[in-house]
Structure 1
């Protein structure tokens, strides 16, 4: 019965699956298969956290673990109502969660702005409850912020990227939701989904951008200072 629901309808808290008080699995001893660092905390002092939803989290995670200054990444479920959901439950469309990537990064090496640049350029943020061939609320575009500074920067970058899309002739408005992470908890996904494309190099990846890049103010663009032009 789970998959008979319209997966393009966000459930209300009353409609959502009840979930469970504790996860059905643990990642406590797991290490990142590419970066070698622990997936879960406690993390070293000085790291900062960023949460993004940009379609299927297998491909989305790879975009971030390849970035300089990223200490670890892990995939999970965020933005919905069901505590400690399973992948099967999220796929049903009855949790309200989107597939998300949590990024732990060193702000002395990289910046939140640099991560936002990866986020905007790695998917199409105008597609609503889908990303490419993947359809459903679990594929919606989202940023879940951890500080007021992140929230302001995320909002500014959304405005800037919308301007870039409009200037390029892209007809649709951005649908990305930006919400504080303390109102939208992150629930890690099952171990088999962590670094999936490292474990399965030929695995499916539905991530693809619009081809529109962000440029910084120094080259006449409208994006916030600190978001650099995309490199070839």
Structure 2
């Protein structure tokens, strides 16, 4: 059995992001929850008020021999609008911010490198600056969201996907 890695992404509402990520081959498991705030074990209602400071997060467990962290990052950048501060579409508040919580130095470097690659692509299209928060997950607890949020769009296939995007694809890698 190969090692499993974890990744944490905030792209606004977690329902649509979780579905996009669970459909990627090599992703073993997903869950949704809250990270980056001050209140221990917050409820959805508390997070929605904005007072806890948490972001809606998708936790991804993946097999790095089947899907790379870079591939997950490429999906992250295009599944939402990382230039939109504390909102995605009609969802407004700090809980809808764009963020990546990394679990290793390698993840941190890759998150920053892909941000720079995507920023260059956005800049070529006249789109503004990426505002995504990128920080280490070390010492930042992940709180599992309530059961009805887990795999919400599998339970409610016509439910609210809640994502906007820049419409700019992630640049394909060019070998040198």
Aligned position for 2:47? 90
2:90 is the alignment partner of 1:111 = no
Task: Tell me which residue corresponds to 1:193.
Answer: 149
Query: Which residue number in structure 1 is paired with residue 31 of structure 2?
Result: 74
5+ residue gaps, structure 2: none
Aligned to 1:168: 125
Q: Normalising by the residue count of structure 2, what TM-score does the alignment of the two structures yield? A: 0.96
The structure number with the bigger radius of gyration is 1
8 Å CA contact retained: 2:32, 2:149: yes
| TM-score of the pair, normalised by structure 1 | 0.73
Who is 1:203 aligned against?
159
Aligned partner of 2:78 in structure 1 is: 121
1:93-117, Cα deviation, whole Å (9 max, x unpaired): 0100000000000011010000000
Relative distance call for 1:135 and 1:108 in structure 2 (3 A) is same
Aligned partners of 1:72, 1:58: CA distance in 2, in Å? 14
Shift in Å at residue 178 of structure 1?
0.4
Q: Once superposed, which parts of structure 1, at least 4 consecutive aligned residues long, lie more than 3 Å away? A: none
In structure 1, the gaps of 5 or more residues are 1-43, 221-232
The CA RMSD over aligned residues, in Å, is: 1.3
Q: Hey, what does 1:4 align to over in structure 2?
A: none
- Report 1 or 2 for greater relative contact order, CA contacts < 8 Å, sequence distance ≥ 6: 2
Counting strand residues as a fraction of each chain, which structure ranks higher? Answer: 2
What SS does structure 2 have at the residue aligned with 1:183? coil
